[in-house]
Amino acid sequence: MEPQLNFLEVPGAKGKFDPRRRIAWWDWNATGREHPDQIVVCVHGMSRQARDFDWLAQALAPHARVVCVDVAGRGRSDWLADPMDYQVPTYVTDLAELLRHLRQGYRDATGLPESSLKLDWVGTSMGGLIGMALAASPQQALRRLVLNDIGPEIELASLRRIATYLGNQPVFPTEIAAVHVLEKICAAFGPHSPEQWLALSRPMLRRSLGGWTLHYDPGIAAPFKQMLADAEALHATQSAPVQSPLWSLYDCIKSPCLLLRGADSDLLSPEVAQAMAQRGPRARCVEFAGVGHAPALVQPDQVAAVKDFLLSP
């Protein structure tokens, strides 16, 4: 089974090579069901892309339509003219437009009211932050929310680690050389077979003069490094812990929530995960041993946890 690549023109931030801008999304339509009443939208992490969800999508596709998105500047989506627009508000605007498009398509195809559509979200890391913002909005009415190793508070050590590679655009002489480097960078995803690493890494690459390079606009690093600098400054001056403003967003979420955590995650602490289980939507937390940030949703136990949550009555 292979997904279909689609594009949607979105408002807001302008494109780098054309003022009009499109985001790309891969459509895994439910097998044998022309107009499924359940759509699962999957959104990746900071430097990743939509094909990370291939394993999960294939498990869900017999039951639901699965839509996997390349966030702006990644994969097949257009790059932004202003690198400082690579921030969550831009992504929320883009994805809200995609949700509107999916709802409209469902209404047009079935003649049924939008309320009969079950619209779910799976977000890894940055994709989870986008999902939190949308789920907190009554206008979006997400039915169920899966947050993959992300919460309202992010550990500073993780931001420092991501900054060591984000935005770097090395040119690799061969595809396999690139795969070996990505395997080291992404070792926290947990144990994978060589075949799984190859499948996870190939969509991360594009041909470049002299070899292969990464799929994303290196400009995505600009606002991230500014955020890290601000976090470092706050950390140096604050005399006592200050609660993240994202908690107020999380507390507004009404959708049932599943929280996945790598037991060795340096981004989502056990304390934050425990707090998420006790307030707001009171997320049900599932932890995976031998995994850091973030569970790759490739291994059967990870896929099963998400599948059982989204497909249960």
Residue 224 lies inside a defined structural domain of this protein: no
What pLDDT does residue 32 have? 63
Q: Average of pLDDT values for 57-81? A: 97
- State the pTM of this model: 0.96
Find the mean pLDDT for residues 272-291.
98
Is residue 224 scored above 70 in pLDDT?
yes
The set of residues, in sequence order, having a beta carbon less than 8 Å from that of 102 and lying 6+ positions away, is: 39, 41, 67, 119
- Residue 206 lies inside a defined structural domain of this protein: no
Distance (Å, rounded) from C-alpha 302 to C-alpha 305? 5
- Asked if the model's pLDDT at residue 235 lies above 70, the reply is yes
- In this prediction, residues 259-264 reach a mean pLDDT of 98
CB 292 within 8 A of CB 265: yes
Q: What is the average pLDDT score of the chain? A: 94
pLDDT tens column, 88-141: 999 999 999 999 999 999 999 899 998 899 999 999 999 999 999 999 998 888
Q: What are phi and psi of 85, to 5 degrees?
A: -80, -5
Contact 200, 33 (CB under 8 A): no
pLDDT of residue 34: 67
- pLDDT above 70 as % of the chain: 97
Within a domain: 231: no
pLDDT digits (tens, 9 = 90+) for 81-101: 999 999 999 999 999 999 999
Domain that holds residue 23: 4-155+244-311
CATH of the domain at 34: 3.40.50.1820
Q: How confident is the model at residue 31 (pLDDT cuts 50, 70, 90)?
A: low
Q: What is the 3-state secondary structure (H, E, C) of 227-238?
A: HHHHHHHHHHHC
Residue 273 predicted with pLDDT over 90: yes
Distance between CA 273 and CA 285 in Å, rounded?
Answer: 7
Cβ 171 vs Cβ 213: under 8 Å: yes
Residue 209: per-residue pLDDT: 84
**Any domain includes 204:** no
pLDDT at 7: 98
d(CA 260, CA 267): 12
Domain for residue 140, yes or no?
yes
pLDDT at 243: 80
Residue 234's pLDDT is 83
Q: Which residue has the higher pLDDT, 241 or 150?
A: 150
Do the domain assignments include residue 40?
A: yes
In a domain, 164, yes or no: no
Given this model, what pLDDT does residue 139 score?
84
Q: Is the pLDDT of residue 278 over 90?
A: yes
| Alpha-carbon dihedral angle through residues 295, 301, 304, 305, given to the nearest 10 degrees | -60
Q: Is residue 91 part of a domain?
A: yes
Phi/psi of residue 201, nearest 5 degrees: -90, -35
- The domain total for the chain is 1
